[in-house]
Structure formats: C-alpha cells, structure tokens
Amino acid sequence: MAETLRLMAVHAHPDDESSKGAASMAKYVAEGVEVLVVSCTGGERGDVLNPRLKQDATLLRDMGEYRRHEMAEAARILGVQHRWLGYVDSGLPEGDPLPPLPKGCFALTPEQFTVDALVHVVREFRPHVMTTYDESGGYPHPDHIMTHTVSLAAFHAAADPERFPQAGPAWTTSKLYYHASFSRDRMRTFHEAFLARGEESPFAEWMKRIAEEEPGARKELEITTRVECGEFFETRDRALLAHATQIDPDGWFFGVPLELQRELWPTEDFHLAISHVPTTTPEDDLFAGLRP
C-alpha cells in the first residue's frame, strides 16, 4: 500500500494559514493527505482588526487566549492538524525610527532554539512537502521573515543526522514551496474584471500603490505551481472568518464573489524553491513527482 502523503505548512501567526494556502490544504485533506499547520507564534501582539470587535475590552486583556480558540476552530474547519511552535509574537514595529523589538519575541530568539524546535516537528511528522514564505516574508513583518529563515534552515537540518540528534531520526522533506498567491497579476485580473462590469473595485488602492512603486522595488515570485481548488474557496473563507479578531468580514478579502474567483483565478499559487525529486514545471500539484 502506498504511503500516506503528508504536507506541513509553516506560518508566523494564527490566521496566516487561512489566508495563504487554505483552500489547497482543504483540497488535500479531502484527498486523504495528512496536513499539519505549524504556527510559530501565538499572535499575542496582534491588533483587533475587525471593526465590529474593536470596542470589546475583554479581547485586549488576553488576545493570545482568543487567538488560540480561533485557531482551533479554523483547524477544525480545514480538517488539518495543528501545532504551536511556542514562541511569542514580535509585533509589527511602526514609526520613524522603528522601535526595538520586544525582548523574548520570536524574531529575536536565537536560531539554534527556533530551528531545533521546528526540526523536532519535521522529524516527528515527516512531511513530504513543506510550504512557507519567501525571504521577504510576503510582507515585512519580522515574524514572517523569521518564519522563512527558520523553515528553510529546518528543512535542511532535519535531513542531516549530525544536526540536532536529540530531535529524532533524520528526515528528508522532498519539496519546499513558497506562497505566491498575492501576485500583482491576480490582483490586476480581479481589479480589471470589476471595472469591466462597471463596478467599484476593492483593489483600487492596491493598484494605486503598485503603480507608484519604483521599478524593481518588489520582487515577484515566479509561479511554478497552480493548485486548482476553487471548490474549497468557501471552506477557506469560513476558516478565515473563524479568526474573528483578525479579519473584517466586510473587507476586501471577501470583496470578490466566489463564482468570479472560480471563473477568473481558480487556483492557489506557489513557487517551488527546492525539490529532491524529479519534477517538471509548471506543476498543478504540490506532490508532483511524489505520487505513485
């Protein structure tokens, strides 16, 4: 009997898993793939981003506890397993000059500890595929950038029996992907569709910022892999709404009707960063080259 395929998605905070790659994960769960989401931090320093909840003082007293409950519900909706890596949210520094990061946060924790912690999870779960962020973090949050650094280091270290021997037998993960769904082309496609329909576009501000960018200011990842998962977009949205403190249900993320998304862009997109198995791009499956 063929071995059950396993996918590990490493994210910075609870809610990241529901906004990046969630429909793909739900699709793979439905196919019988084992999926594990790893949250590097508890999201304790997140702001209340839902206007309907901003006046709820109880949220501010223990944001971490609320986010643990939200994550449990999102994992249930997606059908995935979940693991906390156990580090504290670094917060998003703002101001000029930027303030220092808080002591003890994830982004300041020495990599010898954070990589060790993730190697333990990799060797226990033994994923065939890992997903995470590219070196930019997807956006310049210190936890996202550190998540990339730790994920890439653990991907390599878990395969080396001389590194972190206390973490269990070495395991080589076959493929590593970076999320690439928030591409300019995807946003432009939806933006132009709204204009063609004579409707106001929820991506107008995005398009304005992109137009004002200096040439080459932001690197676009090459999309190597497009996973068709339109039938799971509703599951993705329900999982994201489970993170009630972190998402505005009336915001831009839900501004495109599902039928239009399925028509114009029915995939979640990834960049194949490393593969230890033969594969040919473009791919339509994160497990290309691994299926019997």
pLDDT tens track for 111-146: 999 999 999 999 999 999 999 999 999 888 999 999
CA-CA distances (angstroms) from residue 157 to 148, 164, 206, 292?
A: 14, 8, 38, 27
- Helix (H) / strand (E) element for 78: namely helix 63-78
Positions of the chain with pLDDT lower than 50, given as ranges: none
What does the domain layout of the chain look like in residue ranges?
Answer: 6-182+221-275, 184-219
Strands 175-179 and 129-132: parallel
Residue type, 128: H
Q: Which two tokens stand for residue 32?
A: 């019988």
SS3 content of the chain, % helix, strand, coil (to 5): 40, 15, 45
Contact 106, 40 (CB under 8 A): yes
10 Å CB burial of residue 282 (0-12, 13-18, 19+) is: exposed
Angle of helix 204-212 relative to helix 184-196, nearest 10 degrees?
A: 130
* CA 128/CA 219 separation, integer angstroms: 28
In this structure, what are the phi and psi dihedrals at residue 175, rounded to the nearest 5 degrees?
-145, 145
Query: What letter does residue 231 receive in the DSSP assignment?
Result: G
The answer to whether the annotation marks 16 as part of a ligand binding site is yes
Biggest CA-to-CA distance, the chain: 61
Strands 225-228 and 81-87: unpaired
Q: What is the pLDDT of residue 216?
A: 66
* CA 185/CA 60 separation, integer angstroms: 37
Q: What is the pLDDT of residue 170?
A: 98
Q: What is the pLDDT of residue 47?
A: 87
Q: What is the pLDDT of residue 284?
A: 98
Q: What is the pLDDT of residue 91?
A: 94
Helices (H), 2-62: 16-19, 22-30, 57-61
The answer to whether the annotation marks 144 as part of a ligand binding site is yes
Q: What is the pLDDT of residue 217?
A: 67
What's the topology of domain 6-182+221-275? Rossmann fold (3.40.50)
Sign of CA dihedral 227, 276, 150, 141: negative
Cβ-Cβ contacts under 8 Å for 189 (sequence gap 6 or more): 264, 265
The answer to whether the annotation marks 156 as part of a ligand binding site is no
